Amino acid sequence: MQILFQLEFAAEDLSEILKDYWSQQKVSAEIKEYSEWLVKGIWEHRLEIDRVIQQASKNWRLERMATVDRNILRIGVFEMLFEKNLEVPIVIDEAIEIAKKFSGQEAAVFVNGLLDGVKNNLQKIKAAKEQGQSETPDEKG
C-alpha cells in the first residue's frame, strides 16, 4: 500500500520506486515477491480496477476518496479479479483490517461496503457471462 500511495504523487519509473522502497525494508523474499506482483498488477490494470470501484461507488467519485482508502480498494479489487488463491470474504476482511490500521473505523466501514458492492457486481457479471450475455447493464458505459 505504501508503494501505491507513493505512485499517487510521483508516478515515476515503477522499478525505481520499488528499488528505493525495498532498500529500506527487511522482508522475506515471499513477501517481496507477492507485494511486487500486487503493485505491478494494480499499476498495469489500474484503469480497469478504478472502473470497477467507480461502478460500485454510487455517491463517491474515485478522485474524492481518501488516497489511503482508494489504494486499499485497489488492492482488494485486484485480488478479487486476479488472485486465484484467496476467497473474496478473506480479501474483504484483510482490506477492512488494513483500513482500520491506516485510515480508521469509518474508513473500514466504507471499504467494507464498497468491496461488498464490487463483489455483488462481479457476481452479476459472472452470472450474465454464464448465461451467454457478453455484458450486464452495470458493465456498459
- Numbers of helices and strands, H then E, in the chain: 7, 0
pLDDT digits (tens, 9 = 90+) for 67-83: 999 999 999 999 999 99
Mean pLDDT of all residues belonging to the chain: 89
**Burial zone of 105 (CB within 10 Å; 0-12 exposed, 13-18 middle, 19+ buried):** exposed
Predicted pLDDT of residue 129: 78
Domains and CATH numbers, the chain: 2-139 (1.10.940.10)
pLDDT digits (tens, 9 = 90+) for 83-110: 999 999 999 999 999 999 999 999 999 9
The model carries a pTM of 0.86
Predicted pLDDT of residue 133: 64
